[in-house]
Amino acid sequence: MELYKPFDFLTADECQEVIQYSKTQTLLNSGVSNDRTVNYNHSLIYENNGDVWVKDKATGKKKYREPSHVDDEYRKSRQCPIHDKKYNKKILDLFKTFDKKLVVDEPPHIIFYEPGDFFHWHTDHLTWKRRHWFRLREFERVLSVTVELQPETNAGLYFDYRRHPHIPRTHDYRPVPLKQGQAIVFTCTDMHRVANDGKQTRISLVASGSSLVK
């Protein structure tokens, strides 16, 4: 596997399994990343990282919050985290093929892009502090992965062709052609965007591999 080179990652049945998982969850409006405090704790789902409580479909309890800084002019989609040992391990194992020191410090997310939805040019890079071996240490996102669960024509991930002319595409106004179950890994500092200019829903699975800041 190589960075920026699409490869087969999930089977069609696994893609459907992940999509079915999302149907048991509450879909939230996708938000722009918050500034994270030294008390940020991934085990407390959105506990200190959101503004509005919402009711979870599975339990009926108010457990999740809408992410802060929801900006429909900059990013428009719906998503939910996935807490599944099988797929979390597959993603972790994938990142470790690139760098054995990488960890998955945030839950992967299933993202639904309806026709007309988008995420303008951005990077996935983010830093935060948390306890590590009894010390407060700084972590950062290093690599990102996008897995195509339900492709749609004229929808997907876009990179700047001037920086990455080797990525397969017909021209710069088309997304990276990912088939169902295929994935692409790229650096979190690279600018990219997402858009659905098609007629059907596009569904993807995204995650980041993180490490201690050197």
Instruction: Tell me how far apart the alpha carbons of residues 147 and 8 are, in angstroms, rounded to a whole number.
Output: 9
> How high is the pLDDT of residue 7?
95
> In this predicted model, which residue has the larger pLDDT, 17 or 159?
17
Predicted confidence (pLDDT) per residue in 177-204, tens digit: 899 999 999 999 888 999 999 999 999 9
Region 90-114 average pLDDT? 94
Residue 132 maps to a domain: yes
Residue 15 maps to a domain: yes
Please tell me the pTM assigned to this model: 0.81
CA-CA distances (angstroms) from residue 199 to 75, 114, 152, 196?
18, 8, 8, 8
Residue 207 maps to a domain: yes
Mean pLDDT across the chain: 81
pLDDT at 133 over 70: no
User: Mapped to the 3 state alphabet, what secondary structure does 62-108 carry?
Assistant: EEEEEECCCCCCCEECEEEECCCHHHHHHHHHHHHHHCCCCECCCCC
pLDDT at 53 over 80: no
Residue 168 maps to a domain: yes
Nearest C-alpha neighbor of 110 from the set 79, 66, 149? 79
Residue 21 maps to a domain: yes
Instruction: Tell me how far apart the alpha carbons of residues 91 and 140 are, in angstroms, rounded to a whole number.
Output: 17
Confidence of residue 13 (pLDDT cuts 50, 70, 90): very high
Q: Name the residue range of residue 182's domain.
A: 7-25+76-212
pLDDT at 54 over 70: no
Confidence of residue 43 (pLDDT cuts 50, 70, 90): very low
Residue 174 maps to a domain: yes
Kindly report which listed range (37-46, 51-60, 78-87, 108-117) carries the lowest average pLDDT score.
37-46
What CATH number is associated with residue 80? 2.60.120.620
Residue 43 maps to a domain: no
> In this predicted model, which residue has the larger pLDDT, 150 or 45?
150
> In this predicted model, which residue has the larger pLDDT, 62 or 214?
214
Residue 61 maps to a domain: no
Domain tally, the chain: 1
